[in-house]
Structure 1
Amino acid sequence: MRLAAALAASVGLAAPALAEKACFISYSGFEEKIAHLDIEICPGAPMKPEEGFCRIGLDGGAVLIYTFRHTDAEPCLARVDRYEFNDFVGRFGATYDKP
Structure 2
Amino acid sequence: MKLSFATLLLCSLLLSSSFLEPAFAGSPFCDAKCATRCSKASEKVRCLKYCGICCEECKCVPSGTYGHKDECPCYRDKRDSKGRPKCP
The question of a shared fold, defined as TM-score above 0.5 by the shorter chain, is answered with: no
More strand by share: 1
TM-score bracket, normalised by the shorter chain, equals 0.3 to 0.5
